[in-house]
Amino acid sequence: MQIALTLILALLAIAALATAMRAIVIARAAAWMDMVAIGATDSCESAGYVGCSVVCTGVDNMQQIESLLDVEYDRYETIVVLDARAAGITFRAIVARYDLIRVDADPSDEFPSARIRSLFRSRTRSMRRLTLVDRAAASPYDDLDAGASVASYDYILPVGRDTYLMPNAIEKAVIAIASTPDTPIAALHSVSDDQCYVFNRETLIAQGGFSPHLLNGIRSGEVRRTFVPLIYRTSNTRRIKIVTRLTILILMATLLTIETVTLGTRLATASAAAVAMALANAAYARTALGRYNCFEKSILCYIDRMFSILGKRKFTIS
């Protein structure tokens, strides 16, 4: 019993140390965000050579498109993939709002499932960075392939419904990618949201396009990680808060009760302290990295990352 108690206490100490190290990294990320916000992107000479295409699937409101277009970085574009027959009203509203006209479509044949019907771009110079793709509704992954097949840039950021960019998100992603220009990366992962990735186009082609198993074909060493948040979501926030708080309350009550009865109060106190550090870390991440990253979402990311160690990672898009 004493050996088991010592082992558990050691594991809790390691968890507490990891939490403290994560807090340090978050503090550095917050300081770096402030540096980018005041125009420090000029300090990275190769940043201006990196281009990013945001590819949207499931977009059904104009506000989201307006937000995605509100980016000052030059080498950037937004590609919206929509079925003109299934979502005719929304499709026509986008065409009218941005003065889009049909243009010749020349999609890359490197994405087999792309199959687009038509392509629309704006006649208004200020809206040239918007591309509208018409294709038959299928899976979100096929939509992303269609968008990637007409993308102009080497890095693809996939987004789903009700997903918005954080302030200066593209500039932050570009600097993170360009920070080591001699070492190409397969993807940039923003760990503040477990499903936020910026993929290298060549990686997507090598993996056969977007799919739930996309991440399984990418080696961990080829993924660059950043604690800087790039996106936030506006859907299901109330449900996330309720479910997460109830889950934490039930799990903690059960764990502490079992530990107190079987192993004594010392272990229960240590466990409570470790969990409190994790909760405080999540709250700090929300405060330091932006108001859009809610406390509950940070906790869910921690839990998901812990369980991902036990199995293969799955890429999902809403």
Final residue before a domain boundary, out of 205, 233, 261? 233
Mean pLDDT per segment of 10 residues, for the chain of length 318 residues? 63 65 60 52 60 92 91 93 93 93 84 86 83 92 94 95 89 86 84 83 94 90 85 68 65 67 68 71 59 50 53 74
Final residue before a domain boundary, out of 175, 204, 233? 233
The phi, psi pair for 213, rounded to 5°, reads -100, 15
Number of domains in the chain: 2
Q: What is the pTM of this model?
A: 0.73
Final residue before a domain boundary, out of 167, 201, 233? 233
Range of the domain at 258: 2-31+236-308
Q: Is 158 exposed, middle or buried (0-12, 13-18, 19+ CB in 10 A)?
A: buried
Provide the CA 306 distance to its chain's centre, in angstroms: 17
Judge whether 37 lies within some domain. Answer: no
Judge whether 96 lies within some domain. Answer: yes
Can you give the pLDDT at residue 200? 96
List residues bridging with 223 in a β-sheet: 187
- HSE-CB at 251 with a 13 A cutoff on CA atoms is 10
Mark whether 183 and 49 lie in a shared domain. Answer: yes
Q: Which of 93, 67, 90, 88 is nearest to 78 (CA)?
A: 67
169-178 and 2-37 helices cross at what angle (nearest 10)?
A: 110
67/194 Cα distance (integer angstroms): 22
DSSP string, 7-61: HHHHHHHHHHHHHHHHHHHHHHHHHHHHHHHTTGGGG-TTGGG--EEEEEES---
Please check whether residue 197 is in contact with residue 187, taking contact to mean a CB–CB distance below 8 angstroms.
yes
